[in-house]
Amino acid sequence: QVQLVESGGGLVQAGGSLRLSCAASGRTVSISRMGWYRQAPGKERELVATISSGGSTNYADSVKGRFTISRDNAKNTMYLQMNSLKPADTAIYYCKQVTVYGTYWGQGTQVTVSS
């Protein structure tokens, strides 16, 4: 079993920045794909960004150039640096890890961007 715990969410004004963290514990493995997803009220959960264990990244068009995903394999931690935040970025942000043992989700962290 893998446990994922997100942190770093909060309230920020438009144009501001936040850094989210996702710490993995339990049955962690070195080879895994991790990602950030978000869900706004009344909307479907959507992909924000993903990163492979080798560091290959993928971003949603809506966050390209503003968000940066990274990971520290030695610490089993993934990050999402969010800059130039917009009210449309308001959502619960979830981290996800896909390994040979299964797919795991964190409990989510709220990000609220005020205009």
pLDDT digits (tens, 9 = 90+) for 95-113: 999 988 899 999 999 999 9
Predicted local distance difference test score (pLDDT) of residue 29: 72
pLDDT in tens, 41-55: 999 999 999 999 889
Residue among 19, 4, 23, 10 at smallest CA distance from 110: 10
Measured between alpha carbons, how far is residue 47 from residues 30, 34, 39, 42, 74 in Å? 22, 11, 9, 16, 25
List residues bridging with 105 in a β-sheet.
96
Predicted local distance difference test score (pLDDT) of residue 31: 74
